[in-house]
Amino acid sequence: MGMRMLLLLHLVVCVPLPAPSNVSISSFNLEHSLSFLPGLRTPSGAAFTVQTLRLRKKTWRPVAACLKLTAGQTCNLTAAFRDPVSRYRARVRAFTPTQTSNWTVSGQFHPLSDTVLGPPAVSVSGCGNCLLLQLRAPTTSGLQQLMPLYRRVDLEVRRSRDGAQFSLSLPYREENRISYLQPGVQYCVTVSVRSLFSSHSVSSEPGCAFTSPPQASSSLYLVFSLLGAFCALGVLLTGLVVCADRKLW
């Protein structure tokens, strides 16, 4: 009986701890996050540790905040990938008090080209036959590095009345003017940004405004003109009636 128990313990110890799988790095506005899945049949009590490599340095470094993750947790790599022009990798392994798995390495990651650019805050107002477009970049810490690299904004302009639309690409500025539109018509504008390095972006929610207020003043002018005409006609008819009465007398 004792030999069987020793053999069973030997087999359990010799079974390797499964390595993590699906190790991937995602990035939004230069804020980077690593995610992974536990390997098949990983014990529920296993923990996970993360290291990063800057390719030019060739030295793996532990991530202080990700030394003992649990299954389902992610690792924030923004501070570890602080140089946006360098290229990096990350790796994850599982461990228990008695076992350590092999490392699972991510693909190569380049912050500038692999990050997804979020949309700016958009404010739209009318200016007659044009729209004024106010843009305000997100205030995430990572994005401050990217702001000088913004080059253009891509605009989708849609006329609410009939759905007619067109596209524009303009230099990135906090204020842009969209000209040659119909006065008194509502337009909706969707905005995305481009940098020198990243081609991945997310569009904003549509911002809508009338190019100029609906033509209430013209309608009032027409009403007053008609009232004036009716009054003049009434005076004329009254005068004719008075003249006719005098002739009869």
Predicted structure pTM score:
0.72
pLDDT at 3: 52
Residue 220 has pLDDT above 60, yes or no: no
Closest by CA position to 212, among listed 128, 134, 152, 143: 128
CB atoms within 10 A of CB 176: 18
Q: Are residues 67 and 127 in the same domain?
A: no
**pLDDT above 80 (res 206):** yes
Q: How far apart are the C-alpha atoms of 31 and 40, rounded to whole Å?
A: 29
**Looking at residue 189, which CATH number applies to its domain?**
2.60.40.10
* Single residue among 114, 130, 165 that ends a domain in this structure: 114
193, 173: one domain: yes
Total domains in the chain come to: 2
DSSP string, 99-139: -BPPPEEPPPB-HHHHSBBPPPEEEEEE-SSSEEEEEE---
Average pLDDT over residues 78-92: 94
User: pLDDT tens for residues 131-189?
Assistant: 999 998 776 666 665 666 678 899 999 999 999 999 999 988 889 999 999 999 999 99
Q: Is residue 191 part of a domain?
A: yes
Does 105 share its domain with 130?
no
pLDDT at 107: 96
Parent domain of 176:
121-210
Q: What's the pLDDT band for 12 if we cut at 50, 70, 90?
A: very low
pLDDT digits (tens, 9 = 90+) for 94-130: 999 999 999 999 999 999 899 998 888 899 999 989 9
Mean pLDDT of 19-35: 95
